[in-house]
Structure 1
């Protein structure tokens, strides 16, 4: 088989690349190889267990790509000869390509299980719809579930499982709070308060010391603090790492996090590009290697690779900025860039601007929700370093606006002077708009 472009991987990065390259040249011959029968929405995985009802509701249709002539193979690329531009799949298919795009994603961190070896009721969050369907069916009748990891997947999964099972759900987190890497203490405490209100138990500054099993299943876990928890199932949501087996096998350099090294155009080698979780990232503020794996970043990298595949353009990656969002029990949370704590660790002398207002005006309007915004500025230059917000659904786009301010290196004075549209049913009042008022509050301190 011959193809102009071979894409290995079919989640956000792979699909996004195909979408962009077909906009540039609809006649491009593309072959996409993925292991999974169906592609899914990675960030939608927790909602398979509750809100989405059916796991298949999180599947992404291939119809659009197929209609545009994309050749999709459900297979696995097992070997690549980059000199001959030849890929071989597990089924024995040989694919000759001109350009190669690696979008192999990431895999869940699988820690050592410890005493007793493997257990039947320890699970991980793989991006595989068939696996996740089996997991959901297994968990339906369970009464005691422990989630190891209090990051975004962990807390969202905990909330969704509370809709699925009639029993206890516990999070074991090694850090000082859930979501501690993305939020300052006051926001993390709001997250934990919501989780506790819906019955989730949280153990912080704890890890699993030992699994105690019987007849192939874990029955109890012992924590490093000495406590023991009875369990019917354990789910690890303790992070992911780049899936770079192919890249490493063909001699592509890796960074200290195990990701394929790429330049600002996403090039890994001559006629080879890497995008998404498998590709290296450079910190937006320092340029140093960083490990940030988000679907939104993968989508951006896919566009950059597509637009630079044949001719380098003015579109390139200028560092990786973490912009994260979540929603728990109807309250939205978002964070961008540096938290106050992270900024101080990096040596910044910070100024903070905060504000609390309702997201409609007047506040007595139906559906009004309190909106809290915190902006972090460099005291010396006034440049915004990051921000956090919580409130109603509008928090999502509010945080994206803060992200735009960070990426354009706006100062507090420039943010204060921004012209914003307001409406009683959609935003705070014109004199109380959150971002501009938070910036002003930082200036008058």
Structure 2
């Protein structure tokens, strides 16, 4: 029997659910409702429109075959009725109606539904900072905000900008401002690292160093106290705990929260964190109402807890599930592991699953294993460096997550996607060591970096390798004068000459192949920290030293490649 489906929200999930359902039930009626003029656009593409990489807004609204996804497109191509500039203000669950208000005219309408979908998305978090109402202060939440930001920059009146927040959107906006517009940009972050919560501290340092090298300024561990104007109602400077920063433009990007007020008032179950509660079929507490996208909380497949993960990719997948189920199907969305990627100038960062800190917070006893190596055959001219952190449960060897940075984003995302696909099945380190990967020198190394990462984790878990990560190494290097550690560089002499020349009394170079013949040069009353280029030869050296009776030996994970990438250095 034909139905009337009403969908509130017409960006990612809403438009996907509408199109899927109409393919399954062409005789049924679908009404898409959205408060904005423009619908079905890529919100994730907004920073690239601001940067100028995407030349026009319609590119973010178009299909892959260059057709604009407007109301007329949905009517003609999908058989879906669209109400733009229309806000859903109330839901009567008993009567199964939605009250709508047409925003330009103020006209109200009551629309009956058989089943309802909530795709109300999220809204930007705006801290209660004095001066936030000044002209020139923006969030990044829809196409109108994107156009306002780009128009202001293109006017030539923005010489200095401040971005508040060092998450995905904040960093992408900083890249856009500096790379293509040449705007002097400062990023302020309350926490002590960039990309907080999604990547470990050492990899975060790698991304931080790269962005600083490109000209972005950072004030980490700082807090915005107020935004101050120029006397004409425009922002002129940002006052923080650490001082003042001139600013013609301020972008607030400290996160988003689920937009669930409509659901809450209607009496639907909403979690303490604010997301709509849904089951695996994406049904709400009302069996006639579905919800998905940025307004819901999802099941985390590794921790078993609820999580909020506003991603366009997830919204599109959930839209298909909801479309199926509106038509009587039983499709399920089982949950997420939390996969992401971001491009920061010439560096890519990506990850999936839990970070070391998140794993600890979830009650695991985790280990972080780091590997840095070339992303393809060492002799190929297109080779680049990839650095990966694998998060492993110590007792079981179960993989809990992986994060990384790389010169080649496609290569990194490919590795992350492999792990993301295997995490829900309980991936173990032993399976990673024997994972089959396609090989050709232009694309990968003969021993894939995922195999190397699994091997390294297996050796550490078995106690065959004793390691230290780069931040801990840097702390020990700072204390080198106390003489507790002997720093042994086992690279070839040509590779180690810079460090040995600068620190001849502390940094000793004996190539790994010459160790057996030079045991008498090593102290047996000190801890020996072995260093090489990537960690491979230092592991070999560690085995040699332990076999020859040295008791206190550790190897630097990632070697000098990791030291160089983080910018911690050996001075």
TM class, shorter-chain normalised? over 0.9
Match of 1:34 in 2: 34
Match of 1:372 in 2: 387
Q: 5+ unaligned residues in a row in structure 2: which ranges? A: 63-67, 103-107, 461-571
- Answer whether contact 1:287 1:319 (CA < 8 A) is retained: no
Q: Please show how residues 36-435 of structure 1 align to structure 2 within 5 Å.
A: 36-39=36-39, 40-50=41-51, 51-60=53-62, 61-62=68-69, 65-66=74-75, 67-74=77-84, 75-91=86-102, 92-114=108-130, 118-127=133-142, 129-140=143-154, 141=156, 142-213=158-229, 214-225=231-242, 227-268=243-284, 269-311=286-328, 313=330, 315-361=331-377, 363-391=378-406, 392=408, 393-426=410-443, 428-430=444-446, 432-435=447-450
Structure with more of its chain in helix, by fraction: 2
Q: Does 1:444 align with 2:459?
A: yes
* Partner Cα separation in structure 2 for residue 16 and residue 304 of structure 1: 10
Instruction: Write the deviation string for residues 294-331 of structure 1: whole angstroms up to 9, x where unpaired.
Output: 12222232233233335463x42333321110011132
- Answer whether contact 2:3 2:114 (CA < 8 A) is retained: yes
* Partner Cα separation in structure 1 for residue 287 and residue 239 of structure 2: 50
Instruction: Write the deviation string for residues 224-269 of structure 1: whole angstroms up to 9, x where unpaired.
Output: 23x1111111110010011112112211121111111111211111
- Answer whether contact 1:145 1:233 (CA < 8 A) is retained: yes
Bigger radius of gyration among the two: 2
Relative distance call for 1:79 and 1:36 in structure 2 (3 A) is same
Answer 1 or 2: higher relative contact order, Cα 8 Å, separation at least 6.
1
Instruction: Write the deviation string for residues 258-281 of structure 1: whole angstroms up to 9, x where unpaired.
Output: 111111211111210110111122
Count of equivalent residues: 437
RMSD of equivalent CA atoms: 2.0
* Partner Cα separation in structure 2 for residue 309 and residue 379 of structure 1: 44
* Partner Cα separation in structure 1 for residue 403 and residue 421 of structure 2: 13
* Partner Cα separation in structure 1 for residue 365 and residue 261 of structure 2: 41
Relative distance call for 1:10 and 1:112 in structure 2 (3 A) is same
Instruction: Write the deviation string for residues 69-117 of structure 1: whole angstroms up to 9, x where unpaired.
Output: 1112212222222222222221234322111000000000111132x57
Q: Does 1:9 align with 2:9?
A: yes
Relative distance call for 1:164 and 1:357 in structure 2 (3 A) is closer
* Partner Cα separation in structure 1 for residue 370 and residue 136 of structure 2: 45
- Answer whether contact 1:353 1:440 (CA < 8 A) is retained: no
CA positional deviation for 1:208? 0.6
Give the TM-score, by structure 2 length.
Answer: 0.73
CA positional deviation for 1:27? 4.1
Q: 5+ unaligned residues in a row in structure 1: which ranges? A: none
Give the SS at the match of 1:36.
Answer: coil
Give the SS at the match of 2:225.
Answer: strand
Question: Which is further off, 83-92 or 149-158?
Answer: 83-92
